[in-house]
Chain A
Amino acid sequence: MTTLKTESDVAEAVLAAKGPLAVRGGGTRSVGRPVVGDVLDVSGLSGVTLYEPGALTIVAQAGTPVTEIEMTLAKENQRLAFEPYDLKGLLGTKGKSTIGGVIATNASGPRRIQAGAARDFALGVRFVDGAGNIIKNGGRVMKNVTGYDLVKLMAGSWGTLGVLTEVSLKVLPAVEATTTLVITDRDPGQAVAAMSAALGSPFEVSGAAWIDGAVWLRLEGFASSVDYRAKALGDLLIRHGDITHDDGADWGRVRDGAPMTASSTVWRISVKPSDGPAVIAALPEGSQAMMDWGGGLVWAGCDTADAATHAAVQSRVAALGGHATLIKAPEALRAAVPVFQPEAAGVAALSAALRARFDPRGILNPGLMAA
């Protein structure tokens, strides 16, 4: 396939497709049911097209590497507040994570609980649907309720409704200081109790994780404010264990699920925070786990998973209310199971009908999210 450089190149390629297309940005996310088809590579659509620091907005072509966007923002002391994760380490993939991939998969890190998800920072999209139509929705302003919100629909659709060509994002100021309160040697129940107390406080905790048996609570902002809140939060949590402060805690490890790297099978599970410990308790023997989002996001890894273990994890999560995604697994297992949490019948029917309308030929990442 010739290199795609522009939105109309993408539209022509989709229109001309004779069979399924595997939509690809940087190729760092080998997630979902494997797609058999021609690769539609949008990494050639690259570059920041507009950046207004005073308006807190940036617009970039979908294939722009996230690192390029982060460098551009850093020069103005701003950042992507939703802290997009990078799966290269966990999945052993090469290439560069692209902003289109981040939005298409709604990839959000630890700050999701305070600042919001990738979908909350997406202000506008341009995309090519399965019939080759170029469609735009939203825009580049921070408040916009003009018509239906297709930006949210496209965020997290994993390229199954359309191929993103451009995204506009809200950005936020970077912070002056960061510190992490650490409470070691906590079991999952104790950890969630401490994290709930912290997140239910007025001290604006911007990360609440349980990693290597320790609770991490992150505070960010102006230095004097961080100092004040670190003391106040420490006082509040006095009954939850001994607290130490770590100004250099590596939140990148939490963000990217790094402690699971050695596991051949990894789930990313979203439940209500108080259900985190129950999810962990029900994991297969020999699993390891980490919690983010105050307990609401469980990363779990094991080496012995098969279709039955996976079904058991998803059925446990279904009973609690939530969703489990098999974020890493051998290709054979991914091909054999529903990688994304099966939806209740009514929701599944709506999703299938939307896919049929946006991609009538069923050629965009077919089967990746749902068979």
Chain B
Amino acid sequence: MEMPVPDPAILARKARVVERLREVLPRDAVIDDPMETRAYECDALTAYRCPPMVAVLPSTTAEVSDVLRICHEIGVPVVPRGSGTSLAGGALPTADCVILGVARMNEVLETDYDNRCVRVQTGRTNLSVTGAVESDGFFYAPDPSSQLACAIAGNIAMNSGGAHCLKYGVTTNNLMGVTLVQMDGTVVEIGGAHLDSGGLDLLGLICGSEGQLGVVTEATLRILHKPEGARPVLMGFDSAEIAGACVGDIIKAGVLPVAIEFMDRMLIEVCEDFAKADYPLCEALLIVEVEGSEAEINDQLALITEIAKRHNPVALRESASAEESARIWAGRKAAFSAIGRVSDYMCLDGTIPVSELPYVLRRIGEMSKEYGLPVGNVFHAGDGNMHPLICYDANKPGDLEICEEFGAEVLKLCVEVGGCLTGEHGVGIEKRDLMTHQYAPNDLEAQMVIKDVFDAKWLLNPAKVFPLAVSEARRGTAIAAE
């Protein structure tokens, strides 16, 4: 994956940059020792690494503003970082950048049950937002698999989803307000504890902008009361086609499960080995979860299992206890780490119309043979968000390149059938160069114009989202202006 050549003029001024940053930050919040900056050399897309020039760890919105103002003045690119769990390389540094980590900003600022929202600093992890309110019966709904580690800042930047967003929506549907620091240090408040915008929906624009429009330091998040109960049912089928047909029938019947997850044989085996959830070994497994009171759960599961039976399931089992439910989800949520134990892998994230699932799975299977790399499939079946996991050997020269080519072909296929390149992980560097397959030049120009408005010099996370050749003129101007 190509990255812009570091600007030697910036590298030459490293000492001055560090000095300016130390004027506004505590000594331990500016990291410039090359041994220590290595800790920030990559995110969860570990195939790509590059230590930043400097890393800073501000503790307040004012400090973030100072850092950005200084970097803006002296023309240094800034790469914002939450917890570094991006699978798309969203937090990958360049050698001439300042990494701005929000990890020290992790407080809950306000809990408001009457208005069903919380105000948090964005370095707080996703799961600990729920942790702050669950003793009172509430939770924060978006649940990316990395929720134990990932920060709200990154969730907002990537508009993260999760297994349960079929019912509750993704980050953008649960985000009510932000404090945004712009690249020139300006702080703006957008949204709040009220709903919707009285003017243009800037909140909707910022969510999912991959840290390119500003740094979000505080967020107002919608919280919900937990359901009375929840229970998953496991369904095994002889083929992905049958499982796909079953999903369509469940949705058409008017039941809206909170989650419908799919795993193929390879993933069932590695997840079972990892989590001991007693998954049925078969070609296609669905985990369907419903919520409500005991009686409501029974009613919905009765309807769902009746539909499933029409598709000749090879296994059909409701969870019998809270412990079993936890194991079933632990296995699913650990899918990426479980496969990571047996192979290097690349995780894709394309979304397709649900009706195209059987065709796309068949094509992926054929491509797997053509490229000679095994593929496992795990995905959010209710909304068509696929996660093909392509296995490769990082120690075998050329294997990563073959894997990337294979991945690109799969994503192009997703676009071809009416879907998109990424459903919840973001573009980052990983899908950057495929953007021209989904969007025409006019479409990309309309997006880049927005970055011009928020960050005229293109200093914030500049090498992401847009193909380098497409954004070159804008990034070039920024560097030439120095």
Contact = CB atoms under 8 A, between A and B. Distances in A.
B172 A152 contact: yes
A322 B295 CA distance: 40
A119 B188 contact: no
A225 B424 CA distance: 32
B421 A347 contact: no
A354 B443 contact: no
B193 to A, nearest CB: 4
B205 A152 contact: yes
B295 A112 contact: no
B418 interface: yes
A174 B353 contact: no
A113 B435 CA distance: 34
Contacts of B449: 357-358
A116 interface: yes
A206 interface: no
Nearest to B298: A224
B447 to A, nearest CB: 4
Interface string B291-313: 01101100110000000000000
A153 B204 contact: yes
Nearest to A274: B114
Nearest to B214: A350
Interface in B333-384: 351-355, 380, 383-384
B425 to A, nearest CB: 7
Interface residues of A, number: 86
A135 B172 CA distance: 22
Contacts of A53: 252
Contacts of A57: 353
A293 B423 contact: no
B188 A144 contact: no
Contact of B447 (A150, A229, A324, A346): A150
A256 interface: no
B256 A143 contact: no
Given A119-B204, A196-B114, A347-B199, A272 B355 contact: no
A141 B418 contact: yes
A108 B201 CA distance: 14
Max chain B Cβ within 10 angstroms of own Cβ: one of A112, A147, A228: A147
B167 to A, nearest CB: 10
Contacts of B205: 148-150, 152-153
Interface in A286-330: 293, 296-297, 321-325
A145 B196 contact: no
Contacts of A136: 439-440, 443
B200 A161 contact: yes
Interface stretch (A16-24, A33-41, A179-187, A197-205): A197-205
A77 interface: yes
A202 B355 contact: no
Interface string B415-440: 00011111111110001000100111
Interface string A27-64: 00000000000000000000000001111110000000
A144 B420 contact: yes
B173 interface: yes
Max chain B Cβ within 10 angstroms of own Cβ: one of A201, A270, A348, A350: A350
Given A225-B299, A341-B199, A56 B251 contact: yes
A145 B87 CA distance: 13
A293 B296 CA distance: 25
B296 A344 contact: no
A86 B465 CA distance: 38
B299 A117 contact: no
A contacts with B: majority SS: mixed
Contact of B354 (A54, A146, A161, A297): A54
A200 B114 contact: yes
A54 B245 CA distance: 9
A55 B353 contact: yes
B196 A270 contact: yes
Interface string B179-210: 00010001111101111111111111101110
B194 A200 contact: no
Nearest to B354: A55
A12 B124 CA distance: 49
B198 A340 contact: yes
Contacts of A175: 254
A323 B453 contact: no
Given A150-B447, A347-B188, A157 B200 contact: yes
Contact of A108 (B196, B253, B255): B196
A270 B204 contact: no
A146 B446 contact: no
Contacts of B453: 350, 353-354, 357
Interface in B313-349: none
A55 to B, nearest CB: 4
Given A56-B251, A143-B161, A156 B355 contact: no
Contacts of A120: 169, 172-173
Given A141-B352, A141-B384, A155 B204 contact: yes
A120 B222 CA distance: 14
Nearest to B223: A200
Interface stretch (B21-29, B40-48, B225-233, B473-481): B225-233
Contact of A143 (B112, B380, B418): B380
Interface in A129-167: 129, 133-137, 139-153, 155-157, 161
Nearest to B385: A143
Ordered nearest first, which 7 A-B pairs have the shortest CB separation? Answer: A152-B204, A323-B198, A143-B423, A272-B193, A173-B254, A346-B188, A54-B248
23 contacts: A54-B355, A76-B252, A117-B195, A119-B204, A129-B446, A133-B446, A139-B420, A142-B385, A148-B465, A149-B209, A173-B251, A173-B252, A200-B114, A200-B116, A202-B228, A222-B296, A270-B195, A297-B195, A340-B199, A347-B188, A347-B189, A351-B202, A353-B453
Interface of B: 112-117, 137-138, 158-159, 161, 165, 169-170, 172-173, 182, 186-190, 192-205, 207-209, 225-228, 248-249, 251-256, 292-293, 295-296, 299-300, 351-355, 380, 383-385, 418-427, 431, 435, 438-440, 442-447, 449-450, 452-454, 465
Given A120-B173, A133-B446, A350-B202, 6 more contacts: A143-B170, A150-B205, A173-B253, A228-B296, A271-B194, A273-B114
